[in-house]
Structure 1
Amino acid sequence: MFLPEGSQDETGVQISNRLRAYEIFRQVTYNKSFRQISTPVVEYAQTFTNDVAGMDLLSMLKWFNGEGEIEVLRPDWTTAIARAIAGQHPSKQKWSYQGSVFRFDQENTESRQAGIEIVHADRFFGEAESLLTAIAYLQQLEIDQYVIELGHTGIFEALVAPFAFTELEEEQLLQAMHDKRTDLVEAIVLKAGNAELAESLLALIDAYGSRDIIKQYRQKWSDREDLIEVLTNIEKLIDLLEASGVSEVIVDLGRVKNLPYYDGIMFRGFLTNDGSTCFSGGRYDRLYKQFDITTSAVGLAFDVDVLAKHMKPEQEPDKICILASPETHAIAEKHRIAMDEPVVDIQYELKDQSVYHTVYEVVEEDGQYKVVEK
């Protein structure tokens, strides 16, 4: 039968690379003292669609359970982990996870992620540790051609705050800013009667590039203490990244949140060979307010499917084959166990000898079985 749209079968190198990516991630985060966590793949929709999390139910794989409640396949790790650890002692700060999320609004319905969440920690520490963990992980994967982008939700929000927009207009404006559609941004702002805001937002869309952008906007916003604080936050992280050997850092002052719960610094990693996004994340303190908790929370998630496509294939060892029969299979197995070889196959019929480095066979000689090279 055909597969539903967004589903796919996989074989070979992609699976092998993904499994290695998961294991390397586990080791990197273990070495950095992250505590592993896993949440159920089936959750209540309300966990993700409440006013604070604010995710769109239409994008989720969902159904009604026997009690009439809407259940979903996990569409987001961060929200699920916030639910799971809300009652944990504040001393438990660093968490790591691996597994799939399921969304209709992505190219593939199932996408595999590996990520970290840091809660109850010093704000800059959490941001720094998130980015340094990302660097360490990419280094272990032998992926070195990437760019890190930094943005902040506070810039757009501070500029828009004095002006009146309906909820729909604000959603449309956020989407237009996200897509960097200058024509739509201008149309929405002018229609809402906020013409004086248009120039600032249109300039913000082009505020993208090296750290020199921060110098320009420090002068431009010299009378805005709130925005200067945001620029300082971004610049401190650039200093950290550069001191850690990352030379490719991009600033996007016009970036806006793509998930409702983001409320501060945002970061993304792009692979330079094809521009694909390998990780994304940011600050989401407000997500914990639904649990009546005021705290610091930040994290990021890697797209393991993307990483697997860009990892070097694992060098395959020489393959050995032992030719046997139903009567001699057990003898071949004993020989396989005794061999100091990583890959030993047993076959009854040799269809392609070129697959193997060496071929042995079980033969009978003087009433006894032995294994000899063919």
Structure 2
Amino acid sequence: MFLPAGSRDEMGASIDHRFHVMEVFRKVMTMRGYTLISTPVVEYASTFTNQYVDMKLQDMMKWFNPEGEIEVLRPDWTTSIARALSTQAKNPQKWGYIGSVFKQSIPGIESHQIGVEILHYPPLMGEGESLLMASSLLKELKMGDCLIELGHTEIFESLVRPLTLSQVDEKRLRQAMHDKKKDEVYQIALNGKNQQSAIELASLVDAFGSLDILSEYEERWKERTDLLEILAHLKKLARIVEASGSQEILIDLGRVKNLPYYSGTMFRGFLKETGADCFSGGRYDRLYEQFGERNSAVGLAFDVDVLAEHVEETNDFTHICVIASEDTFVYAEQLRTKYKDAIVDIQTEPLAHIQYDVMLEIVEKDGKIEVLER
């Protein structure tokens, strides 16, 4: 049968690589003290469309249940996990997940993810652990160094607060900042009747680069205690990551949040060799307000498909072809036990498209079975 637009079948190496990424992730998270968590693939739409999350219903795979309520395929792991953990004890927790999210806006509708959520840790420790865990995974996958970009939601938010902007203009301003359109940022901000804030917001478009950006803006904002505290926090986090290895740190002071529940440090990871965007995350303390509480919470998610594309082919196993017949098939299966660390493929004839390391043939002569090497 034909498939819906964007859907696809997968075979062979792409699936092998994806499961390899997941297996390595499980090993790394287990060794770092995380516990696996899984949530239902079907949730109520209201879990994701409320004012704290504000995801768009039109982007979700949805239907009405028999009671008339809207159900959806899970569009976001962080929100789903927050719902599951909202009644848990308030002790330090580290959780890892493996699974898919589903959105109309992504190719193929399904996106494979792995990620971590860290609760009730001091902010700097939780954020540092998230990034160090990400670094450990990429090293274990042999993907080399990554570029880690740091930003903070409250820089943009604090500069927007003095402006008297309509909701429409504030949304336009946020999009212009995301798109790095400096002139447009300035013109929209001017509508808020505060020229100094408009100037500062426009400057954020260019506030991107190495850690030197932090020193530059410490001088620029020396009268703003709130912003200086943010810069000091980002500098401490960058030093933690730098001290752990050779990752390069980038700063983007003009980055804006793409979901309302982000409420502090944000980060993204890029593979240095190709520039591929492989993980993103940040702090989301406010997400728990919908459950009547405010927790220290931070996490990040990896795009498994991106990582799978960068997995290098390995051939660590000897590939053996055992040629057998219906009469010798059982003996061939018994022979497999002698080659526990090899790939043993039982066939009636060798497959032409496979390069075997060893080829064995089981023959029956005078009532006796022999194994011959071709």
TM range (shorter): over 0.9
CA distance in 1, matches of 2:119, 2:163: 33
RMSD (Å) for aligned C-alpha atoms: 1.7
CA distance in 1, matches of 2:195, 2:107: 37
CA distance in 2, matches of 1:107, 1:171: 26
TM (norm. structure 1) is 0.95
CA contact under 8 A between 2:49 and 2:57: conserved in structure 1?
yes
Of stretches 163-172 and 301-310 in structure 1, the one that deviates more from structure 2 is 163-172
**Corresponding residue for 1:224?**
224
What number of residue pairs does the alignment pair up? Answer: 374
CA distance in 1, matches of 2:9, 2:145: 28
1:369 aligns with 2:359: no
How far does residue 207 in structure 1 lie from its aligned partner after superposition? 0.3
**Corresponding residue for 1:305?**
305
Which secondary structure state, in structure 2, belongs to the residue aligned with residue 355 of structure 1?
coil
Equivalent runs, 1:219-298 vs 2, <5 Å: 219-298=219-298
CA distance in 1, matches of 2:34, 2:252: 29
How far does residue 351 in structure 1 lie from its aligned partner after superposition? 4.1
Which secondary structure state, in structure 1, belongs to the residue aligned with residue 326 of structure 2?
coil
The amino acid across from 2:336 in the alignment is R
**Corresponding residue for 1:21?**
21
Of stretches 319-328 and 300-309 in structure 1, the one that deviates more from structure 2 is 319-328
Unaligned runs of 5+ in 1: none
TM (norm. structure 2) is 0.95
- Call closer, same or farther: CA 1:329–1:373 in 2, change over 3 Å: same
CA distance in 2, matches of 1:141, 1:293: 37
CA distance in 2, matches of 1:354, 1:120: 52
Which secondary structure state, in structure 2, belongs to the residue aligned with residue 334 of structure 1?
helix
- Call closer, same or farther: CA 1:350–1:202 in 2, change over 3 Å: same
Q: Segments of 4+ in structure 1 off by > 4 A?
A: 191-196
How far does residue 160 in structure 1 lie from its aligned partner after superposition? 0.6
**Corresponding residue for 2:42?**
42
CA contact under 8 A between 2:59 and 2:104: conserved in structure 1?
yes
The amino acid across from 2:313 in the alignment is P
- Call closer, same or farther: CA 1:224–1:193 in 2, change over 3 Å: closer
Unaligned runs of 5+ in 2: none
Cα offsets for 1:204-242 (capped at 9, x unmatched): 010000111111111111111100000011000111111
CA distance in 2, matches of 1:345, 1:247: 42
The amino acid across from 1:136 in the alignment is S
CA distance in 2, matches of 1:134, 1:76: 19
Which secondary structure state, in structure 1, belongs to the residue aligned with residue 360 of structure 2?
strand
The amino acid across from 2:366 in the alignment is D
CA distance in 2, matches of 1:178, 1:11: 37
How far does residue 256 in structure 1 lie from its aligned partner after superposition? 0.5
CA distance in 2, matches of 1:202, 1:66: 51
CA distance in 2, matches of 1:166, 1:172: 10
Identical aligned pairs, as a percentage?
Answer: 51
